Structure 1
């Protein structure tokens, strides 16, 4: 474990946080049949002032990788499965006090708090085989909504150390009405002298 951040932020630097959220949504156990779920990835590159606050710039996308169903074969038929989104976020430098076993301060971590204020509603065309005649039908935004929903219902935080990759997983996150999700977070905080 590092005892201090390996670099010092200067007034001319931007803090760049690159984050990937892999989201697999399923039933919480109360759905027995007839449901499909979105699985995909939210990828975001956020730029902040070294002093913290809201992003000064960002590029964020949501990609639907698959739409598994409980009783049907399903396949995405849309030509576009990646959509732009916007994350709400707050960066707080040196805000998390890390202490040793005796309670003595060791070093400070930075904190990123993020959520989705305006959930996307992009629809996909899905091919289904459910025992009857196969059909391709719109999902009316349900897959995209599934992937975004955990970040609409809750604000999430990541504690960061400069130039260190952090990977963590949240299993069985329950959210309304009857869903659960496994979410893997991958983040890295770096310093850059310009917004790319």
Structure 2
């Protein structure tokens, strides 16, 4: 078998980072390198040609998740042509949806990596600036006055609890309670009923 070109090697690396970003949000950073490389369709040995360590890959995967989120976050704001409240409601509806609860691998990195970074202080220190900036960005998108952080805590906490109780009626109740709290507190009226697809 011939050697992989530099372009192919770079493409493979980006594919591994994207796969890791998704798998780590879905299953946690304890996913083995063997399972990760299998999911990426590459050999276990190829990992060590691309990355110095698993910790380096985790760093890159977290940064990739936030870059991906940043690339898509303007969509809701643009959709509503600068109408912050309408964009905020869309964000809340999407974030606290059954789809987001059930698809953590494609979901928000703030909630997706919180537990792992809380358990791994060395890893958290390495990517803290990326994670903190992601938290601040999400809080700013939620803010109605200076309450973005409190709203973010409600939203992320509800999603984490809903994922932990998935399959039980309380999971839906947690999502609905958070949607109600986040929308009625700032406007006095409730957000339209959220979709369940």
Q: Same fold (TM over 0.5)?
A: no
Q: TM-score range by the shorter chain?
A: under 0.3
TM-score of the aligned structures, taking structure 1 as reference length: 0.26
**Structure richer in strand, relative to its length:** 1
Rg comparison, structure with higher value? 1
Q: Which structure exhibits the higher relative contact order, with contacts defined as CA atoms closer than 8 Å and separated by 6 or more residues? A: 1
In terms of fraction of residues, the more helix-rich structure is: 2
TM-score normalised over the length of structure 2: 0.26
